[in-house]
Amino acid sequence: MSQAGSSQFQEVIRQELEYSMKVELDKILATANSNEIEHTKKDLEGFKKLFHRFLQEKGPSVDWGKIQRPPEDSIQPYEKIKARGLPDNIASDLNKLVVVKLNGGLGTSMGCKGPKSLIGVRNENTFLDLTVQQIEHLNKSYNTDVPLVLMNSFNTDDDTKKILQKYSHSRVKIYTFNQSRYPRINKETLLPIAKDVSYSGENTECWYPPGHGDIYASFYNSGLLDNLIAEGKEYIFVSNIDNLGATVDLYILNHLMNPPNGKRCEFVMEVTNKTRADVKGGTLTQYENKLRLVEIAQVPKAHVDEFKSVSKFKIFNTNNLWIALSAIKRLQEKNAIDMEIIVNPKTLDGGLNVIQLETAVGAAIKSFENSLGINVPRSRFLPVKTTSDLLLVMSNLYSLNAGSLTMSEKREFPTVPLVKLGSSFTKVQDYLRRFESIPDMLELDHLTVSGDVTFGKNVSLKGTVIIIANHGDRIDIPAGALLENKIVSGNLRILDH
């Protein structure tokens, strides 16, 4: 078949797929009741646009030859921004800020039911508690009114709203809006697996929240964006709710509000230096004269190792972002926010292969004017994705003050130890059962634990500690033990007499 004939043929198939999709989505919409119809229609319209773009795109979405290192001045060192100091009227700048937390995720990967933000991380405080404490401390210290906005998903909305009542007397206004709800599609037929709008019971697997790139459309559609602009708010500070390092930074805020060259940035991305643990993180590049976020999924296979190289791409995106509200409104109204599609394959419990189409919030950087990267200290990136991360933030490596975690001054070197807990520790309740108390880790460099291992009270870990219980064996580290540069293996049972 000639090339022209082949592309005509592909176009016919594309049109047929779009038509079949429209028919199926109309059937789903027809099952909505009068309360659901308006927002279901918006969701399905948004999905239709995404599906249309998905059918147009072929292969990796970046041309590797066009990728360049960003120009020197497009990524500023944090130290330079901090060196400017703060103006006397920083409180009036704070009053123009809104904190947005991405709160769509569940705690399933850590073996917890419900929203991840409700997992206890420190002294019984949850991610959400710490966030509210941080903003309340700001509002009290500067006599300001910085609100908190939570972007929930249909998975987290009900549970989050129930818990919000406990903050009704705190000095933080809390608003919520919901991410879109998109239908998962069958990998073979590319049609939705949902037959109606319901998403409870066995239908929960039919729907998904389409990644945090959905923030622009759903924030705008909720009406909250316009309300906040009307109240005089100018910037949002967006971050993942499980990144405990993502606190409001007054020096970055000052740089946004009072730029040294007089020209305001519409979008600031906090990046930080890669370590070997971060090779998969998205990186900022220069692409067609714009700053552009490139994720590993967009990289042609032949260049993946180059992408992971710490020497060529030295920084990665922390997903701490500062974005001008007026710019979101302008771009959203022009339908001009361009984000690459992430195709996320999943296998459902029954074995059915589906795909979900997603976008990432940082990918929109190329659509904004005068974007900037700021290379921030590693301490602003402290995500809790696993119980290994949880062990670090619960330990004496960090001290807690007004909702913010800072590395203890007693630790002599500022790097975080490498901690790898095995599969017996994956679920939070198993992890908590295996530690009678959190060990002293002030002088720890590296901890690996594998197999059936428990820790008694007041254990101290220093240097490199590797504990491996072989299959069928169990190791109980006794109370008060000091392990310094030790490998422990075999079987060690300590039973009450």
Q: How do 440-450 and 418-421 pair as beta strands?
A: parallel
385 is in an annotated binding site: yes
> 2 exposed, middle or buried (CB, 10 Å; 0-12, 13-18, 19+)?
exposed
446 is in an annotated binding site: no
Q: Are 206 and 194 in contact (CB under 8 A)?
A: yes
pLDDT digit string, tens, across residues 119-156: 999 989 999 999 999 999 999 999 999 999 999 999 99
CA distance 384 to 419: 12
Backbone angles phi, psi at 350, to 5 degrees: -80, 0
The number of C-alpha atoms within 13 Å of 376 and in the hemisphere containing its C-beta is 25
Residue appearing with tokens 């394959």: 345
pLDDT digit string, tens, across residues 217-251: 999 999 999 999 999 999 999 999 999 999 999 99
CA distance 120 to 192: 36
116 is in an annotated binding site: yes
137 is in an annotated binding site: no
Nearest residue to 482 via CA among 426, 433, 444: 444
Catalytic residue ranges? 385
pTM of the model: 0.93
Q: Are 96 and 322 in contact (CB under 8 A)?
A: no
CA distance 6 to 12: 10
DSSP string for residues in 445-494: EEEEEESEEEE-TT-EEEEEEEEEPPTT-EEEEPTT-EEEEEEEES-B--
211 is in an annotated binding site: yes
pLDDT along the chain (497 residues), means of 10: 72 92 95 91 94 82 82 92 95 98 93 93 94 97 98 94 95 96 96 91 88 95 97 98 97 96 95 83 87 85 84 89 98 93 90 94 94 95 94 95 93 90 96 96 96 96 95 93 92 66
Residues sharing a CB contact under 8 Å with residue 457, sequence separation 6 or more, in sequence order:
436, 437, 479, 480
242 is in an annotated binding site: yes
- Domains, in order of start, for the chain: 64-380 (3.90.550.10), 387-489 (2.160.10.10)
